[in-house]
Structure 1
Amino acid sequence: MEYIVRTHDLGKKFDDINVISDVNMSIKKGEIYGLLGPNGAGKTTVMKMMLNLLQPSQGAIELFNSTLTNNSYELFKRMSAIIEYPIFYDKLTAKENLDLHCEYMGYHNKNEIDEALQLVNLKNVDTKSVSFFSLGMKQRLAIARAIITKPELLILDEPINGLDPVGIIEIRDLLEMLNHDYGITILISSHILSEIEQIADTIGVMNNGRLIEEVSMTSIRDSSVEYIEIETRQITQAAHIMDAQLSIKNFKVMDGKKIRIYETEISQHELYKTLVSNDIAVDSINTKTGSLEDYFLSLVGGKEVV
């Protein structure tokens, strides 16, 4: 198995406070790796250390089987990234910004500029300076800048921030194309778990500065549990009826208006009929399978990913 990125007991302190501790991460060549975690878990800090924007306080990082140092200039020619809010020369156009990027990257195939803008669906911007771009347009331009040199490793910190639903789907399709057609390895963080679920091969879950889980999406899907989910505003009464009349014991109240029933041998029809006959208003009833969000929340104790 060939790895593009490996970290060994990686740690970082700020003012003698450990913000990253003993992170051992392994990203395989050619995969999409989704990095998840609540706000403040340390995702961006880990990415910055991979890019040499922050120095580790302990441990080591391997990129392309070479240990990262302050002199790893050749390694960074094989990588590209978007970290936090993208910065541009606001008075220049999108093409002029990309042209400058190619210059300082030593990338001389300027024909790629138009292709990169087309790939991110950034149209009719030939004469418009970046200062007039919306947040979504700037995010598209940042992705164009990141992919224009066709890097072997692409590190993306919340790349779909500011995009509308159509834009999110377009970028998802673009990342899958870059991975499948160009063989680009992608490390991506996002708070939109449903998007990570659709594209990631492996996920790493961080919490309180530690990598608490690293698992394939195939394993998550194979271990997913099927359940019936009921939505009602009469949670207490519904739970009592399920216990007393249907002898259902394996259920969980989720958020004050939803109940998940893990005894799926009972039919939706029988369940609905019993509740309604006892004057319980059922807003919805569906059979579902555990998602990445369910898996994530089980690991971090209910904290939201941001």
Structure 2
Amino acid sequence: MSEYVLRTTNLTKTFKNGIALDKVNLSIKRGSIYGFIGQNGAGKSTLIRIAAGLAFPTEGSVELFGYSGPAETNEARKRIGSIIESPALFPQMTAEENVEANRLLRGIPGKDIVKRSLELVGLEGTGRKKAKNFSLGMKQRLGLAIALLGDPEFLILDEPTNGLDPMGVVEMRELLKRLNQERRITILISSHILSELHLLATHYGIIHRGVLLEELTAKELQEKCRQFIHIKVNDPAAAASVLQNRLDTTEFEIMPDGSIQLYDHLEHPGRVSTALAASGLEIEQFMPKGEDLETFFTKRIGGVQP
């Protein structure tokens, strides 16, 4: 069994007006939630469409579940569920009728799977209500129920929270977490909303103008965006002693320039400054620093100069 559900090698897609993907080498591990981040037009949807078999690369290759041959990858796509762009629904049909129609179109055996899919997304009690009268959040969940037909091992979701109200965003996030943790479904989520993805993703890929800039884990991203109190005093060694002995912390670093980065007591900076001053230290600089995730992303794509 392959460690990866999706890998691309030098994946390139060109159109008449330019390059949508430029030698992209992407890897999605089994069991992960992969947040695919980029601005609109960065190449996210193009890669997703190629992975789902809805478009073809100009150059490069796609490997699914360890298979890379054309016939094998087509067969492997039966193990994928996807929502690309907006869910394709029959507005005059109920939730159950929509899922059943898609089951029949895809030739999936067993009518009981319809009820299971609706239960998974919390739409089992919608009765005779037609899809045209659903809220946007309900429509997204119905699309997800359809994507879950056939018990996929890999879900591909293109902007699944786009247009949802705050409660709908929370509901979708919790549902995807449950599918990943309880059913071990690997999930690829394309989004330009990093603040939402950081509550969900275990791995990230950042794409900009068709180029995959970086892949990193949630832990690596957290380290890059770590918050701290920047401290500059006349005696760094004495300040370190105060932090250890009076504030009971070793969560700090003395930097080459003699400044201190304190990763503890972030919610109570007054205690830190008071302890330092009470020890006779001259505080030259004292300020919170670090980046939020949006700032990190913006700098990474070159939108903000350091």
TM-score (norm: length of structure 2):
0.76
Q: CA deviation at 1:84?
A: 0.7
Q: For 1:18-65, what per-residue CA distance to the aligned partner results, in whole angstroms no more than 9, with x for missing partners?
A: 121100001111111110011110000000011111110010101111
What is the total number of aligned residue pairs between the two structures? 264
- 1:2 corresponds to 2:3: yes
| Structure 2: distance between partners of 1:90 and 1:71 | 35
| Structure 1: distance between partners of 2:219 and 2:226 | 14
Output the aligned Cα RMSD: 3.1
Q: For 1:221-277, what per-residue CA distance to the aligned partner results, in whole angstroms no more than 9, with x for missing partners?
A: 234332469xxxxxxxxxxxxx9xx9xxxxxxxxxxxxxxx965698449999xxxx
Residues 204 and 215, structure 2, Cα contact 8 Å, conserved in 1: yes
| Structure 2: distance between partners of 1:12 and 1:132 | 38
The equivalent of 1:111 in structure 2 is 112
Residues 155 and 185, structure 2, Cα contact 8 Å, conserved in 1: yes
The equivalent of 2:139 in structure 1 is 138
The equivalent of 1:12 in structure 2 is 13
Q: CA deviation at 1:123?
A: 5.7
Q: CA deviation at 1:16?
A: 6.0
| Structure 2: distance between partners of 1:139 and 1:205 | 25
Give the % identical residues. 39
| Structure 2: distance between partners of 1:167 and 1:121 | 12
Q: Which moved more, 1:147-156 or 1:100-109?
A: 100-109
Q: CA deviation at 1:90?
A: 1.8
| Structure 1: distance between partners of 2:175 and 2:44 | 23
- 1:184 corresponds to 2:206: no
Q: For 1:264-296, what per-residue CA distance to the aligned partner results, in whole angstroms no more than 9, with x for missing partners?
A: 5698449999xxxxxxxxxxxx95754432321
| Structure 1: distance between partners of 2:189 and 2:260 | 36
| Structure 2: distance between partners of 1:21 and 1:93 | 42
| Structure 2: distance between partners of 1:151 and 1:270 | 52
Residues 81 and 149, structure 2, Cα contact 8 Å, conserved in 1: no
| Structure 2: distance between partners of 1:73 and 1:81 | 15
Structure 2 stretches lacking a partner, 5+ long: 235-258, 275-286
Q: For 1:82-113, what per-residue CA distance to the aligned partner results, in whole angstroms no more than 9, with x for missing partners?
A: 11112112222111110111223332232232
TM-aligned CA distance change 1:156 to 1:206, over 3 Å: same
* Residue correspondence of structure 1 range 189-200 to structure 2 within 5 A: 189-200=190-201
| Structure 1: distance between partners of 2:289 and 2:123 | 37
Q: For 1:112-161, what per-residue CA distance to the aligned partner results, in whole angstroms no more than 9, with x for missing partners?
A: 32333233233643212222223222111111111232201100001112
TM-aligned CA distance change 1:161 to 1:122, over 3 Å: farther
Q: CA deviation at 1:71?
A: 7.5
Structure 1 stretches lacking a partner, 5+ long: 230-242, 247-261, 274-285
| Structure 1: distance between partners of 2:271 and 2:299 | 30
Q: Which consecutive segments of 4 or more residues in structure 1 shift more than 6 A?
A: 270-273
The equivalent of 1:127 in structure 2 is 128
TM-score (norm: length of structure 1):
0.76
| Structure 1: distance between partners of 2:290 and 2:203 | 19
